[in-house]
Amino acid sequence: QVQLVQSGAEVKKPGASVKVSCKASGYTFTGYYIHWVRQAPGQGLEWMGWINPNSGGTNYGRHFQGRVTMTSDTSMYTAYMELSSLRSDDTAVYYCARGSDITSTPTPWDFWGQGTLVTVSS
């Protein structure tokens, strides 16, 4: 069965960086986009960007450009999201989600990771 398993909670100081992992299983990892979304406490869902694990191509949300880097390791079936220059308002749960088949028209996000809480505090 398809699963996305994320790394554990992190506590970081302002100005630091955090790297969250998302390990995929149950499907062809290189065949689907991975999206990253975050959710601040008590708030809604904010799209951060996607990565094509096959090509390494990325597309970042404007709000995060210059601070986010999405990568993948196809040998480990794992996608990564690194966010730098952390601020207190980056405190949120970060989710990965499986997007479309890279060869097809857009499809909804049918599988999500369990979320990773990143707390930014001095």
Partner 1 sequence: EIVLTQSPGTLSLSPGERATLSCRASQSVDSSYLAWYQQRPGQAPRLLIYGASSRATGIPDRFSGSGSGTDFTLTISRLVPEDFAVYYCQQYDSSPRTFGQGTQLEIK
Would you tell me which residues interact with partner 1 (CB under 8 A)? 35, 44-47, 50, 59, 61-62, 95, 97, 99-100, 105-110, 112-115
Say how many CA atoms lie within 13 Å of 7 toward its Cβ: 13
Name the minimum Å distance from CB 115 to partner 1: 6
Name the minimum Å distance from CB 122 to partner 1: 26
Instruction: Between 71 and 100, name the residue whose CB sits nearer to partner 1.
Output: 100
Q: Cα separations (Å) of 95 from 6, 105, 112, 117? A: 8, 22, 7, 9
- Would you give the DSSP letter of residue 31? G
Instruction: Between 55 and 74, name the residue whose CB sits nearer to partner 1.
Output: 55
Instruction: Between 8 and 108, name the residue whose CB sits nearer to partner 1.
Output: 108
Name the minimum Å distance from CB 56 to partner 1: 18
Q: Which two tokens stand for residue 11?
A: 């506590």
- Find, among 29, 113, 39, 42, the residue nearest to 73 by Cα: 29
